[in-house]
């Protein structure tokens, strides 16, 4: 007996088969690109997603596929898929990086229970009503990406609180806000009924089973958004459990038994279980380090070596602590604006404090520190909301270097434990499928947590703490300059 998890991401679709003990048996992924027919638009044809699913499933061993008893779903948050009465897509899916609705955000006046971004379903659907009346006329359901996929597999039209609460059209607990949708002119009947992420929501159709090499009639779980699925797959199951993921961007997720208080710049969403979670979402992690590395003409091995004080390939040696202390150098990593904690899409970055004695290594070190400091600013927002975070599980492809992990532990003032789970979101989805089929129960989640290895402890670095204070002071001093008109 095994369970299939499907994670419908922005740039790739991943699948994983998990056995009845919660161990991953096989995994596969297929990448695809975004479509940008106009500046600021971000779309994908649902057929692109379907082809990726069929290709990924074909890469799984036949024997394991035939053992699958249930399917769980995970999907990118915020975007929206419009389908008609027959289940066909009305137009390409609109995704979270889409900014076409940025001028419509004043329809959500402050304060809001969560930050509102133009790529969320609410602003995108308001744009559809205003600018594509023919698409609106043909629409029967407005679905989240993973909910479209479940319908395509033969399942029920439904959604779960973890996705609904992030649409900017629902209450914090995920219940649709009928008064808001009426005020926005968005038909309330477009929105599917809510069910728990781990509930059964239909079964796999004969045609979908044939396309994927699975057995028809197996249970489909409602599923959840990708962040709570990744948290579930990483073993975040108890009140106060915390997860840091680093990739292109970064997220810090802290599970909460009850609804957290609202803090500006911080998300509070429903989890894939019956919990809530606080989330700090930082856009500039791997993307900022990659750009700094490119500007400084480093290979990654040399970037780490010179930034952290080891011999580089050309024989030079940098003392990282001395370089950081000789003349304070600060890097603001906000190359794409920032969400938590600033909520400032106009924020920008760069180095300040450069002196003649600074080297490339010192500049790269400052870049690593600036990204670590931006993550600390997000964690500070979570701590300000009432959560006590002294330890985090660590996941994501951007967090494997031991020197970078130590800097993160020092900057965040927290213990770090690397999760032994390379495919956390599809694993979490598979677990939801297992619960929907009756193999597990919600109270089993803690026991299903994967292993985690302690990788770094904070060392109480006072000089680093002073540089973090300088980082915050610098951002505060320049924030008003970012979006100033020329000559102002």
* pLDDT at residue 299 in the model: 95
* pLDDT reading at 7 higher than 60: yes
Between CA 36 and CA 324 the distance in angstroms is: 41
Fold of 2-227: Nucleotidyltransferase; domain 5 (3.30.420)
Give the model's confidence band at 190: pLDDT under 50 very low, under 70 low, under 90 confident, else very high: very high
Q: Which residue has the higher pLDDT, 7 or 263?
A: 7
* pLDDT at residue 487 in the model: 52
Determine how many CB atoms are found less than 10 A away from the CB of residue 188. Answer: 13
Give CB contacts under 8 A, 24+ apart, made by 126-132.
126/101, 126/184, 126/185, 126/186, 127/100, 127/101, 128/82, 129/184, 129/185, 129/186, 130/104, 130/185, 132/91
Query: Exposed (0-12), middle (13-18) or buried (19+): which is 442, by Cβ within 10 Å?
Result: middle
What H or E segment, with its residue span, contains residue 3?
Answer: strand 2-8
Q: CATH number of the domain at 236-420+458-488, out of 3.30.390.50, 3.30.420.40, 3.40.50.300, 1.10.8.60?
A: 3.30.420.40
Outline which parts of the chain fall under CATH 3.30.420.40: 2-227, 236-420+458-488
In the block, residue with structure tokens 């911080």: 266
Query: Which are the contacts of 256, defined by CB distance < 8 A and separation ≥ 6?
Result: 239, 240, 268, 275, 276, 277, 278, 387
DSSP state, 233?
H
Query: Out of 46-60, 254-268, 315-329, 396-410, which region has the weakest mean confidence (pLDDT)?
Result: 315-329
* pLDDT at residue 313 in the model: 39
322-337 pLDDT, tens digit per residue, is: 444 456 899 999 998 8
Q: What is the β-pairing status of strands 219-221 and 68-75?
A: parallel
264-317 pLDDT, tens digit per residue, is: 889 999 999 889 999 999 989 999 999 999 999 999 999 999 999 864 334 333
DSSP state, 157?
S
80-126 pLDDT, tens digit per residue, is: 999 999 999 999 999 988 889 989 999 998 888 888 888 999 999 99
Give the pTM. 0.86
Give the model's confidence band at 486: pLDDT under 50 very low, under 70 low, under 90 confident, else very high: low
* pLDDT reading at 397 higher than 80: no
DSSP state, 443?
G
Query: Which are the contacts of 457, defined by CB distance < 8 A and separation ≥ 6?
Result: 409, 415, 416
């Amino acid at each position: 007996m095994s369970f299939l998890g499907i994670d419908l991401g922005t740039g790739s679709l991943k699948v994983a088969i998990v056995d009845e003990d919660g161990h991953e048996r096989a995994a596969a992924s297929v990448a695809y690109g975004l479509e940008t027919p106009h500046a600021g638009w971000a779309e994908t044809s649902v057929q692109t997603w379907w082809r990726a699913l069929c290709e990924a499933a074909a890469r799984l061993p036949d024997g394991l596929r035939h053992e699958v008893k249930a399917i769980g779903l995970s999907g990118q948050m915020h975007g929206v898929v419009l389908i008609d009465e027959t289940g066909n897509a009305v137009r390409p899916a609109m995704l979270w990086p889409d900014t076409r609705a940025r001028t419509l955000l004043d329809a959500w006046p402050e304060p809001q229970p969560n930050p509102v971004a133009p790529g969320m379903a609410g602003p995108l659907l308001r744009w559809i009503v205003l600018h594509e009346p023919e698409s609106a006329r043909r629409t029967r359901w407005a679905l989240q990406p993973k909910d479209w996929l479940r319908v395509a597999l033969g399942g029920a039209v439904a959604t779960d609180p973890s996705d609904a609460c992030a649409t900017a059209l629902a209450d914090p607990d995920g219940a649709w806000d009928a008064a808001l949708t009426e005020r926005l002119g968005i038909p309330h009947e477009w929105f599917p009924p809510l069910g728990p992420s781990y509930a059964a929501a239909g079964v796999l159709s004969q045609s979908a089973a044939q396309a994927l090499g699975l057995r028809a009639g197996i249970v489909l779980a409602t599923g959840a958004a990708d962040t709570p699925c990744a948290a579930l797959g990483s073993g975040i199951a108890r009140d106060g459990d915390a997860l840091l993921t680093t990739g292109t961007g970064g997220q810090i997720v802290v599970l909460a038994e009850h609804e957290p208080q609202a803090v500006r710049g911080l998300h509070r969403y429903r989890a894939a279980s019956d919990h809530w979670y606080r989330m700090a979402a930082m856009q500039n992690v791997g993307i900022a380090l990659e750009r700094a590395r490119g500007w400084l003409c480093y290979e990654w091995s040399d970037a780490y070596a010179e930034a952290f004080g080891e011999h580089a390939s050309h024989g030079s040696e940098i003392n990282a602590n001395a370089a950081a202390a000789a003349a304070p150098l600060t890097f603001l990593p906000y190359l794409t604006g920032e969400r938590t904690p600033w909520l400032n899409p106009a924020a920008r970055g760069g180095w300040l404090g450069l002196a003649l004695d600074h080297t490339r290594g010192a500049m790269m070190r400052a870049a690593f520190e600036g990204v670590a400091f931006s993550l600390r600013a997000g964690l500070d927002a979570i701590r300000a909301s009432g959560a006590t975070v002294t330890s985090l599980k660590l996941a994501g492809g951007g967090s494997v270097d031991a020197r970078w992990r130590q800097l993160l532990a020092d900057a965040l003032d927290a213990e770090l434990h690397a999760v032994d789970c390379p495919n956390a979101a599809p694993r979490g989805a598979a677990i939801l499928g297992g619960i929907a089929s009756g193999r597990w129960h919600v109270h089993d989640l803690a026991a299903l947590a994967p292993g985690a290895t302690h990788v770094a402890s904070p060392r109480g670095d006072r000089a680093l703490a002073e540089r973090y204070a300088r980082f915050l002071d610098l951002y505060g001093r320049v924030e008003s300059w970012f979006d100033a008109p020329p000559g102002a």
